[in-house]
Structure 1
Amino acid sequence: MEKLKNYKFLYVFLYAILAVILYVSLYSNIKPETIDIDLFTISPETIYAPTTVADKFETEVKQQEAYDSVEDQYVLKREISEKQVDLISSIFDTIIEVRKEDEVENKTLDSATTTLSSDEMVDRLQDKLTPSINEKISKETFLPLVSTTDEELELAKDAVVTAVNNIMNKEIPIVQLTEAKEQVVEELQYAPLRKEVLQSATELARFAITPNYVFDLEATDEKRQQAIDGVKEVQIKQGQILVEADELINREAYRKLGLVGLLDDQQTFKPFIGLGLLILLILTGVVYYFEKKDVPFLKKNNSLLLYCIIFAITMLLMKIVSLFQKIDYTYIGYIAPVAMGAMLVKLLLNERLAILTSMIFAVCGSVIFNEGVTGSFNFSIGIYYLFGCLTAVLFLGEHNLRSKILQAGLFVSGMNVLVITAIMLIRNGGYSNIEIGSYFIMACVAGLVASVLTVGFMPFFETGFGILSTMKLIELSNPNHPLLRKILTETPGTYHHSVMVANLSESACEAIGANGLLARVGAYYHDVGKTKRPQYFIENQMNIENPHNKLSAQLSKNVILAHVTDGVELLKKNKMPKEFIDIAEQHHGTTLLKYFYHQAKESNDMIYEEEFRYPGPKPQTKEIAIISIADSVEAAVRSMSNPTPDKIEKLVRSIISGRLQDKQLDECDLTLKEIDIIAKSFCESLKGIFHSRIEYPELTKKQKVK
């Protein structure tokens, strides 16, 4: 495992593994279902549409029917009526013009010259008229008009114009043209004209009557387009029955089966492309979380590898449970302990990642358990998983004992029951008591099994990945731990000092939002190196002479500085968490051993300050920095003869100021505001420890005897 995590670009491979896990888990559930069935055979079962699709053929048929149902649109053209009236008027005006020309010529010619005959006048008239008029009106029609009197001609003109205008003001479709011509004849039959003139006038009127109620192409096209637009798209709805059991597969049913993709001779890649996009979206969220911070590749590999294993185990559990869907246990998904994955991610990695993972499990579960529902997603099971996982994540706090995890399982069971109840009420369906009872039992089992599996998997992950979880910290804080027993029995003064530092560190860490439990338990072990030479440290020198009085400053310095490296070796030997090793190694940073430095300086001016500094490195985290300051503060306050609140605060501020000036806090991410909060927290804790006490008066000898 350690060798695997050391590969720099392992995280890229892990992202690919995560994508493969998702694709393999969901592939079989989104693969389109096909039916081996032929045309004109009997369907062995009732076939439902697996998805909603548009039936373009049926839609086009209905659109054509709507198009054909629209009648041709006609419009009354007033301009045609006006044009025909003007035409009749112009014909009569031309006749009058020809007659006047004849009269003028008669006056200018000699008396011996004869006037034009009626035929010649008609010829001259036809020369003035258009060929289309001459073709439709015979020469015999004009003869009575050119030879009649002016008064009768004017009377004929008025009668024809009036009759044509009256008839043409009405709608005259082409099918009613003959009827309209007969109506104009009736209009003129009582005109006070001679018979031959009346016949000619009637002929001209019949000629003038023409259809004025004509086909309107634009209006017709508009009406037909409106009819087409009014046709709703025909759809085959998801869950719609396509073929009943024992029904003949006719051409229409076969066409619909092919349309929804149920025929085995049809292949579509759309679902697989959609699944790929869904996985890409899921991976985007995971990658965004792991890549948003500039963390070392080793830590990233470790976290991502752990996440992939938890994810794979959870998906495997869902797939195993989903196999029971094949034997008519459609809602077996309610028993899957999906909340286990969310709880493990919360306990071993991060709460935000656990919330994201809860949503991912909800989506994946809705796909895996889609058997027996219409569509690719079972939204009921997705909602069920989402609420269950979020309940587990939000219930688990910072300090999670095994009993807390089991309580979380009970809360998940309760939430599962509530969600199932809500779903059943929303569906408003009829459920038997057996169904309701089985749902509730599965909901309770899912929550309890999730918590039990979480407790079971935790030690394996903690050991395999070197994770210092909350439960692990609580176990290491047990006074019966071999190292703590060693500190207590061999260096009781150091043990008491460590407990005081732990109290100070925990309260300060919690005040700024750091990991207080890590600081407390780490502080218990920070001076474990003193167990190698306990008598050389002042807190353990009870009723013995100080051994440093017999040593040179150089040797004393070496003994004191060695407790850091001795502690690191001892912690590594006992396979303690790396966080504890870092605390032991960094809690003095590169601070100066002032007492022995000044002592050495008095006897030798050639002493360098670097020789009397701790090897370091400087504190790298907030927790280690706080333990470092608390270590100095506790020792300094304990050495005060008469500590008061003002003296304590002044001393705490002085020590913190010295650390800042010595640049011991440069490599951790503490802010000045947080440092001020830490100082206040130290002062409050120390005031509670070194509070003033009532001095009890001594008893008199007589009272003692009594």
Structure 2
Amino acid sequence: MEKLQQHFIRIRKLLDISFFRILFFIVLGLVLYTAMYTNVKPEKLDVDLFSVAEKTIRSPGTVEDKKSTERKRAEARNQVQPVYTLKNEYAQNRVDLISSIFNAASEVNDEISENMKESEEETAEDHLPTSEPSTAEKITMLTGKLTPTVTKDLSNQVFTALVQASNDELSIAKDLTVTAINNVMTKRIPADEVENAKKSLEEELKYTALNDHLRMAAIELGRYAVIQNEFYDPTATEELRQKAAESVEPVKILQGQVIVEEGELIDQEIYRQLKLVGLLQNEKTYKPFIGLIILIVIMLSAIYYNFYLMKSSLPEKKQTYLLLFGLIFILSIFLMKIISLLQFYNYPWIGYLFPAALAGMLLKILIDEKLAILTSVILSLCGSILFNEGVSGTLNFSVGFYILFSSLAGILYLSNQNRRSRILQAGLFAAMVNLMTLLAVMFLPNGHFSGIEYGYYFIAALVSGLISAVLTIGLLPFFEASFGILSTMRLIELSNPNHPLLRKILMEAPGTYHHSVMVANLAESACEAIGANGLLARVGSYYHDIGKTKRPHFFIENQMNQDNPHDRLTPDKSASIIIAHAVDGANILRKYQMPKEIVDIAEQHHGTSLLQFFYHKELQMNPHSKIKEEDFRYPGPKAQSKECAVIGIADSVEAAVRSIPNPTPELIESLVKKIIADRIQDGQLNECDLTMKEIETVSYTLCETLKGIFHSRIEYPELTKKVKQA
């Protein structure tokens, strides 16, 4: 394990260099590309035209079939009937024309009557007879009032009948003829129905009460008036055909659609579709690979940006976390790929066996929740590609949602408590979420499954949650030990009073144990007030004086009813014993393979501060000798983290306040400020990133906590009296 840890440390140091960080992300990208390459690679088939399909072939993606689309649009255009427009004005025009002919005949009669009167008046004086114009003359008068076209199209019998009829007869004939024309012409009359329309008019006039000649004239005039009034409209027809063509949806070969069934003949149409979706050997495309590269770049960019924004007091922690993330992520992709290969055995439920919550829970415990959630999203995307059921380039959204919800369930369940027993509960909770997610994705598309199939899916969901928990519990100690990660769960375990080292302190140095607990309370509240790791401060305080167990009676808190051994020692010897407890503590913690953060607290909580009591005592005893101040200082190093600095302050403050017989709030406040000021002046806080504002907050918090601990107690007179009597 130590050798492995050393290898990880070397790799972590390499990641401090930008080139190797970039190389690290390139390796992650290559792992992702290699894992998903076969799942996006278009399937190529070696099939011949008019051969028999050896297996059922499905489309790997959605492609528009433009040829079929154009064919359907042409069919839609052809199904549109020609548009014919009814010319309503034609009916009125023809009615007016026939009316004008009858009116012209009436005018002829009126003119003849007028001429006859004038002639009779002129010839009455001469007693000569007045002669009426002949029929031919009347016809000439009538045709003179009409256009050549009309006179040409109508027979002479029509004009004869009109000029021979009286005005009353003409009026009746006109009304009957116009009414019949109007009745027929208001209906649609296409070119091939003109004759039928004329016959219809003829039938309407055939049985009128007109004389034979006038009736025949009316019929001929009616037939002459009836013409085509419905005409083909090319513009309207083309507009309708265009709308019909546009209403046709593009024909698409959908992803997963069966193109040819097993045993079916591959005809020209099927062969064309296979070529269209790119399944033939002679069809090459790079689009899926470009899409995969783009997706990988997006995912890795999100990861890089997350680490770029990650807050960490020590820069090397980022590199440690990056390396740890890389191992967990690659492990998840490896497991996902191995399980996805089993899809070829036609197990549709195999993707739900993947331990989806594993990576999320490990990252939540070892690094932080934000990275764990981001990784869950990325793994869900990868899972939707890797578990695409053998259809290249497709996305299995059901498995993607399943992985996402399962991982989030494990992460959120661990949010409040990170005890190791909580991991198994989180796995069970993830299994329950798996079952609910499975029911959702199975019911949404109205799927139909047998009882055995439901059983397989549900067993896979339960196993996924349980395996996630088991692997998390199994891998957690390995990652913690290999990377020196001090997780919240590890801290909680180290705070257990039954820990061998804590029992060692309690049994061998009970005063130190009590002092450590008091320091823990002070340091935790102060660290939480400035946003530092309060739990680390508490646990580190428990172990910070473990070195005193080597010589417990040389420390005042353990000297109960005993002489002080320092009274018999020289100041320099006493100083060396006191100073040694920091070094001894660090060595003991290293021996027990305690986390580096805990070792640093034991080693750094005194920094390089001066043992003033023994130093001044040495000066008084040997005023003329050359005494080096360094011999009475702790070896350090100075506090490198906020937690270490706060624990050092809390350690000094607790010991100082405890030594006061009757501490008052004012005295406590004055003492705390003096100790902090001395540490600042001595430069003990120079190497940690505590700001002056945070130091002020620490001072205030320590004072408030100490006031609560050393508050004035009420003396109960009755109880005191009984005690005195006893």
TM-score bracket for the superposition, by shorter chain length: 0.7 to 0.9
Query: What is the letter of the counterpart of residue 7 of structure 1?
Result: I
Determine the structure 1 residue equivalent to 2:7: none
Which residue of the other structure, out of 244, 249, 260, is the alignment partner of 1:243? Answer: 260
User: Which deviates the most, 531-540 or 3-12?
Assistant: 531-540
Asked if the contact 1:42–1:246 (Cα under 8 Å) also holds between the matched residues in 2, the reply is: yes
Distance 1:477 1:227, change over 3 A: closer
Query: What is the letter of the counterpart of residue 190 of structure 2?
Result: P
Q: Distance in 2 between matches of 1:124 and 1:294?
A: 116
Work out whether 1:168 is the aligned partner of 2:188. Answer: no
Q: Distance in 2 between matches of 1:570 and 1:227?
A: 88
Work out whether 1:5 is the aligned partner of 2:15. Answer: yes
Determine the structure 2 residue equivalent to 1:17: 27
Asked if the contact 1:30–1:376 (Cα under 8 Å) also holds between the matched residues in 2, the reply is: yes
Aligned-partner SS, 1:242: strand
Q: Distance in 1 between matches of 2:352 and 2:525?
A: 43
Distance 1:447 1:139, change over 3 A: closer
Q: Distance in 1 between matches of 2:392 and 2:15?
A: 44
Following TM superposition, by how much is the alpha carbon of 1:7 offset from its aligned partner in structure 2, in angstroms? 0.7
Work out whether 1:272 is the aligned partner of 2:282. Answer: no
Q: Distance in 1 between matches of 2:82 and 2:596?
A: 90
Distance 1:417 1:651, change over 3 A: farther
Q: Distance in 2 between matches of 1:122 and 1:328?
A: 101
Following superposition of structure 1 onto structure 2, how do residues 316-335 of structure 1 map, counting pairs within 5 Å? 316-335=334-353
Following TM superposition, by how much is the alpha carbon of 1:408 offset from its aligned partner in structure 2, in angstroms? 4.8
Asked if the contact 1:362–1:383 (Cα under 8 Å) also holds between the matched residues in 2, the reply is: yes
Q: Which stretches in structure 1 are left out of the alignment for 5+ residues?
A: 604-611
Which residue of the other structure, out of 208, 218, 223, is the alignment partner of 2:225? Answer: 208
Determine the structure 2 residue equivalent to 1:636: 656
Following TM superposition, by how much is the alpha carbon of 1:613 offset from its aligned partner in structure 2, in angstroms? 11
Determine the structure 2 residue equivalent to 1:609: none
Distance 1:675 1:121, change over 3 A: farther
Q: Distance in 2 between matches of 1:58 and 1:431?
A: 41
Q: Distance in 2 between matches of 1:158 and 1:380?
A: 81
User: Which deviates the most, 28-37 or 149-158?
Assistant: 149-158
Which residue of the other structure, out of 27, 36, 41, is the alignment partner of 1:26? Answer: 36
Determine the structure 1 residue equivalent to 2:306: 289
Q: TM (normalized to structure 1)?
A: 0.74
Query: What is the letter of the counterpart of residue 137 of structure 1?
Result: D
Determine the structure 2 residue equivalent to 1:606: none
Q: Distance in 1 between matches of 2:25 and 2:338?
A: 23
Following TM superposition, by how much is the alpha carbon of 1:286 offset from its aligned partner in structure 2, in angstroms? 2.6
Following TM superposition, by how much is the alpha carbon of 1:38 offset from its aligned partner in structure 2, in angstroms? 1.6
Asked if the contact 2:423–2:469 (Cα under 8 Å) also holds between the matched residues in 1, the reply is: yes
| CA shift digits 1:252-287 (9 cap, x unpaired) | 333333444433333344433443454345345434
Q: Distance in 1 between matches of 2:60 and 2:673?
A: 72
Asked if the contact 2:554–2:564 (Cα under 8 Å) also holds between the matched residues in 1, the reply is: no
Asked if the contact 1:99–1:146 (Cα under 8 Å) also holds between the matched residues in 2, the reply is: no
Work out whether 1:347 is the aligned partner of 2:365. Answer: yes
Which residue of the other structure, out of 51, 57, 64, is the alignment partner of 1:41? Answer: 51
| CA shift digits 1:356-394 (9 cap, x unpaired) | 322332332232122267983334433443344334334
Query: What is the letter of the counterpart of residue 326 of structure 1?
Result: F
- Count of residue pairs brought into register by the alignment: 682
Q: Which stretches in structure 2 are left out of the alignment for 5+ residues?
A: 1-10, 124-130, 624-631
Work out whether 1:84 is the aligned partner of 2:102. Answer: no
Query: What is the letter of the counterpart of residue 210 of structure 1?
Result: I
| CA shift digits 1:657-702 (9 cap, x unpaired) | 55787877952884978876665445445569x99898798999xx
Determine the structure 2 residue equivalent to 1:137: 153
Determine the structure 2 residue equivalent to 1:182: 199
Distance 1:617 1:117, change over 3 A: farther
Distance 1:566 1:418, change over 3 A: same
| CA shift digits 1:90-149 (9 cap, x unpaired) | 4455667789899999989x99xx999998998898787667556x52584786379657
Tell me how large the CA RMSD over aligned residues is. 5.6
Determine the structure 1 residue equivalent to 2:271: 254
User: Which deviates the most, 282-291 or 216-225?
Assistant: 216-225
Distance 1:526 1:149, change over 3 A: same
Distance 1:491 1:697, change over 3 A: same
Determine the structure 1 residue equivalent to 2:400: 382
Following superposition of structure 1 onto structure 2, how do residues 363-442 of structure 1 map, counting pairs within 5 Å? 363-371=381-389, 376-396=394-414, 400=418, 405=423, 408-409=426-427, 412=430, 427-432=447-452
Q: Distance in 1 between matches of 2:216 and 2:96?
A: 20
Identity of aligned residues (%): 46
Distance 1:562 1:261, change over 3 A: same
Q: TM (normalized to structure 2)?
A: 0.73
Q: Distance in 2 between matches of 1:367 and 1:660?
A: 58
Asked if the contact 1:527–1:563 (Cα under 8 Å) also holds between the matched residues in 2, the reply is: no
User: Which deviates the most, 493-502 or 224-233?
Assistant: 224-233
Following TM superposition, by how much is the alpha carbon of 1:42 offset from its aligned partner in structure 2, in angstroms? 0.9
Asked if the contact 2:40–2:394 (Cα under 8 Å) also holds between the matched residues in 1, the reply is: yes
Distance 1:474 1:673, change over 3 A: closer
Asked if the contact 1:238–1:375 (Cα under 8 Å) also holds between the matched residues in 2, the reply is: no
Following TM superposition, by how much is the alpha carbon of 1:634 offset from its aligned partner in structure 2, in angstroms? 1.0
Following superposition of structure 1 onto structure 2, how do residues 119-134 of structure 1 map, counting pairs within 5 Å? 133=150
Query: What is the letter of the counterpart of residue 79 of structure 1?
Result: E
